[in-house]
Structure 1
């Protein structure tokens, strides 16, 4: 089944049985049959619900300075970006989720754990950009000088499939609101009254 169909199942469900492999999230049609609710729960449970994490004190000082500069010079952008915000996101995600970071500029992924590779994105804006899909995607948003929210923690293929068209720079953008919708969909009750994320 196309990944887009599985995304829709997270939100709406689907009638009829089909086959999936015994490995969670590997929908290859090569193993025994499951009912739609079982399949949808297995797929959607790969997406963690949004949660907040405390920023380390040195990072908080950076965003406090940004907030102060914005007050002193209204209308001027002072949002950290580029390598700075990328590295901040990586160390925060690593500490919060128990990840091991790759050396800087590792192609495709920034960290790994016992389950596999992870790409990490962090922003203070409303969207992120992706050059390609990844095994697992973690997206953080700075919500205050002292806190970040893990907006999305789930399969990279879902985010990639849900992103906008390819831009001239070779990237596809996806809004944080769309990512949050995907994450929240994994916790919606299914038709039987159980939680889709369980």
Structure 2
């Protein structure tokens, strides 16, 4: 995991360097890259088993529980469908993640499902909302973190 953390830090140094040379452009890692980084970090920290690439609703499993991992660098995650369990993380520039939600996916989906669907087909849920929702998640509903 040290190598992964070091490479993520280097990635951000590279993108910052590109921004200094070309201030008129953004070079932020996003989309699939951030999602994949979040998934491998979640696999490590929570002891998850990855599902085959291309699975639509879930990314990993732990025992019989299916888990969707959502990762952002900003202030919100995006979801497009319900999931059994959701772990929402914020990727930090030092290669670590902060957990904002770790619980059943249904309450998060219920919060957005009746809203007008955005053009991109994904609902946005702020980290603040997820953090507040986390207060209602019981300890036995969380996926226990096995690595710091």
Give me the TM-score of the superposition, normalised by structure 1: 0.61
Backbone CA RMSD of aligned residues = 2.5
Give matches, 1:83-162, under 5 Å. 83-162=32-111
- Alpha-carbon shift at residue 73 of structure 1 (Å): 4.0
Partners of 1:100 and 1:83 in 2: how far apart?
A: 19
4+ runs deviating over 6 angstroms: none
Q: Residue by residue, what CA displacement relative to the aligned partner does 1:72-109 show, whole Å, maximum 9, x if unpaired?
A: 44463222122211211110100000000012111210
Partners of 1:70 and 1:149 in 2: how far apart?
A: 25
- Alpha-carbon shift at residue 131 of structure 1 (Å): 1.0
Q: How many pairs are equivalent?
A: 137
Gaps of 5+ in 2: 141-148
Gaps of 5+ in 1: 1-53, 188-195
Determine whether 1:173 maps to 2:124.
Answer: yes
Choose between structure 1 and 2 for higher RCO, CA contacts under 8 A separated by at least 6 residues.
1
- Alpha-carbon shift at residue 152 of structure 1 (Å): 1.1
Partners of 2:19 and 2:128 in 1: how far apart?
A: 24
Determine whether 1:186 maps to 2:136.
Answer: yes
